[in-house]
Structure 1
Amino acid sequence: MLISLDGFSKDQLIANKAEINLIGKMEDGKIQGSAYMGCNRMSFALEFKKGGKVKISNGVSTMMACQNMELEISFQKKFDTMTKYTVEGHFLTLSDEKGNTMKFVAADWD
């Protein structure tokens, strides 16, 4: 579950059921992931690298128009720029070179 994204409260993220799923099939060291921010389904490839680096690629999305697209648009723009990761307990934090972050918690943990 996405619990922290600049510009959005935790309550907004929960209300939109914002999440990523990293349980996808691994190919060539990559994880096939998916995301949902309240409207469209997104998929991507994610590769965790040495030194806390992450590479996100091959992002695609369904293209439905919904009433509130602000979260989804913001997530898509920022998610593609993430280059670093940290894991602390049940929390995954992604960050970019400018210090922007997004934080996730395992769905079975709050």
Structure 2
Amino acid sequence: MIYLCFCLCIGCASVNGTEQHIHRQWMLVSYKDFPKEDLMNSKAEINLTKISDAGKIAGTAFMGCNRMFFNAEIKSKKRIEISGLGSTLMACEKMELESQFSKDFEKMKNFVIEGHFLTLYDEKGNKIKFVAADWD
């Protein structure tokens, strides 16, 4: 009985710990064939710090042109649901990154946090990798 309680407490602590670590600003460092230098020059990022009244993440993203907004919900220690992706509607010269990201982002269903890195995965194994903005 004590062992069961201990395991349940550890399991809950792990999810809460994961949730605390995900609530950060993340800089995009790896996505498809886009060079890392282009990602950095675009100041590509997602921000997962704001929590809505419903308890979901009220996220924002920027890929070099438009501001994007979305909802995200942590479903379990490794599962995330991203929905409601929208954006402002400015036209810019270089929009390929933003175009591809907006097509793929809501498909991401799994996540892993390793050190200062957040990696999102879809069901096919495609990934989007970020580094914490507050990491030196």
When normalised by structure 2's length, the TM-score is 0.77
Q: Which runs of 4+ in 1 moved over 6 A?
A: none
In percent, how many aligned pairs have the same letter? 55
Partner of 1:64: 90
Question: 1:52, CA displacement in angstroms?
Answer: 0.8
- Bigger fraction of residues in strand: 1
Partner of 1:87: 113
Do residues 45 (structure 1) and 71 (structure 2) align? yes
1:15 pairs with 29, 32, 41, which one? 41
Do residues 35 (structure 1) and 61 (structure 2) align? yes
Q: How many residues align?
A: 110
Partner of 2:133: 107
- Structure 2 residue runs of 5 or longer lacking an equivalent are 1-26
Higher gyration radius (CA):
2
SS in 2 for 1:52: coil
Do residues 4 (structure 1) and 27 (structure 2) align? no
1:74 pairs with 100, 119, 122, which one? 100
Question: 1:25, CA displacement in angstroms?
Answer: 2.2
Question: 1:59, CA displacement in angstroms?
Answer: 1.0
Cα deviations by residue, 1:32-89 (Å, 9 ceiling, x for unpaired): 0000000000000011111411100111100100001100001111101100001111
- Structure 1 residue runs of 5 or longer lacking an equivalent are none
Cα deviations by residue, 1:5-24 (Å, 9 ceiling, x for unpaired): 01201111001000000111
How big is the alpha-carbon RMSD for the aligned residues of Structure 1 and Structure 2?
1.1
- Bigger fraction of residues in helix: 2
SS in 1 for 2:60: strand
SS in 2 for 1:73: helix
Question: 1:109, CA displacement in angstroms?
Answer: 1.6
Alpha-carbon distance between aligned partners in 1 of 2:91 and 2:103, rounded to the nearest angstrom? 17
